[in-house]
Structure 1
């Protein structure tokens, strides 16, 4: 399948040539697409109408879906990717806005109210006073989500082989003890390294990687049983329990949203 790479400039935070408070953009990507590292002079809210995409800031990898978006502050270097057929949306916030929810990237739940307000701003016939009122409501309801589909990638020489294999094949069944034996170190050494580099345990890190892959496959229309097998769970029920612990939703609920 054709893969397209897009390059965008690296721009510092600052006023834009055409002032706006909130401006929307959307696109259905025809091919698997990668965006090289770039930054915007304005804040950006990334979310999807259909499918899943990723955004990368340093060693942090977020999955963006119709349920969870990502707030990207002005001037933040980031890259991204989306598979063919993804319908992604972006809302650009003029810099500075009257309110910024965070100075660092954070997940944002795309609630029905927030979605409705953002879609309303896409109406070209919306009167000026209505637009101003809707923009004010968007700024008022924007808030960080308590949940996010985030994986912090370990970068040390010790953990890099594990990260590369699991990211490529989330169904890999090797345990922490298996990896420690293969790398010639103790399980305690691997445990300490994972906690230090990712802020979580090996098991939770693997569960997060599996959840990210599962979200992408569910977004492409895979059934729950096939996704469960692909990402390494022995049954759909075990997969559903793990998915819910990570995302707060059942696989079926996520597909419906």
Structure 2
């Protein structure tokens, strides 16, 4: 299980609080709702062990950043970028103390699902407003039904995402471990090829085969995930840029915007 980085804390999963939820197949439990919300302010670094829900789930944060892992893929979740988790999908999650997370559960009968695999969802002001309205006490039909219909109308996949595949091949495992432990590691493809005594082309093929992207893009995504967690934790843009291996805040900002779709400053403001 992967855990988000944090200032002054530990990334050792064994030091975190673990929560256990059941593994349930899609549609295995009848629910009395179409869309139902949940929220919690996390007081301790927390890991949710692998589980699955009988209904669809939309995850996002009101404050902070968190992660969800599906197989070998790790997704970062923020206040502006949520994650659609289809019913029955086995996943785990991690959140650092201080994260205010939100979720909305969608009964299978309420939608044919926006995707049958996890996909990022842009948490727009309108979507946030509609989901908040569904959480208002005493909201009754027909207002609830109309709001639920609007939620389903505006709920669409985002063209941006923050996810990374973790290659498992023995050849690239030293790189994966080193970069994830220290995203500021400045070694490039040629450096690693020399250390591992293979050609740069061999490393490129290995990364592409398992992740669908080359080494440089994979490193940039790992750095962006790390940067999001630090920015959400209150770090300055300049300090984050240095921490994740960029020579200047402007270079970091350009790379961050290509991956996340927002500048670091806009992300912090959001």
| TM-score in terms of structure 1 length | 0.98
Alpha-carbon distance between aligned partners in 2 of 1:11 and 1:100, rounded to the nearest angstrom: 17
Alpha-carbon distance between aligned partners in 1 of 2:53 and 2:218, rounded to the nearest angstrom: 30
2:95 pairs with one of 79, 82, 92: 82
- Residue 15 of structure 1, CA deviation: 5.2
Question: For residue 253 of structure 2, what is the aligned residue in structure 1?
Answer: 240
Alpha-carbon distance between aligned partners in 2 of 1:248 and 1:108, rounded to the nearest angstrom: 13
1:227 pairs with one of 240, 243, 256: 240
Is residue 32 from structure 1 mapped to residue 38 from structure 2 by the alignment? no
Report matched runs for 1:187-202 at 5 Å.
Answer: 187-202=200-215
Alpha-carbon distance between aligned partners in 1 of 2:200 and 2:25, rounded to the nearest angstrom: 44
Could you tell me which runs of 5 or more consecutive residues in structure 2 were left unpaired when the two chains were aligned.
1-8, 10-14
Task: Output the aligned Cα RMSD.
Answer: 1.0
Question: For residue 182 of structure 1, what is the aligned residue in structure 2?
Answer: 195
Deviates more, 1:95-104 or 1:194-203: 95-104
Alpha-carbon distance between aligned partners in 2 of 1:211 and 1:98, rounded to the nearest angstrom: 32
1:71 pairs with one of 70, 84, 87: 84
- Residue 17 of structure 1, CA deviation: 4.0
Spell out, residue by residue over 1:196-241, the C-alpha distance to the aligned partner (whole angstroms, 9 max, x if none): 1110110010000000000000001101000000000011011001
Question: For residue 164 of structure 2, what is the aligned residue in structure 1?
Answer: 151
Could you tell me which runs of 5 or more consecutive residues in structure 1 were left unpaired when the two chains were aligned.
none
Question: For residue 123 of structure 1, what is the aligned residue in structure 2?
Answer: 136
| TM-score in terms of structure 2 length | 0.93
Asked if the contact 1:42/1:96 (under 8 Å) is kept, the reply is: no
Is residue 163 from structure 1 mapped to residue 171 from structure 2 by the alignment? no
Alpha-carbon distance between aligned partners in 1 of 2:88 and 2:28, rounded to the nearest angstrom: 12
What stretches of structure 1 move > 4 A for 4+ residues in a row? none
1:103 pairs with one of 116, 121, 141: 116
1:135 pairs with one of 148, 155, 161: 148
Secondary structure of the corresponding residue to residue 203 of structure 1:
helix
Spell out, residue by residue over 1:82-120, the C-alpha distance to the aligned partner (whole angstroms, 9 max, x if none): 111000011000123233100110000000100000010
- Residue 50 of structure 1, CA deviation: 0.2
Asked if the contact 1:15/1:94 (under 8 Å) is kept, the reply is: no
Alpha-carbon distance between aligned partners in 1 of 2:171 and 2:63, rounded to the nearest angstrom: 37
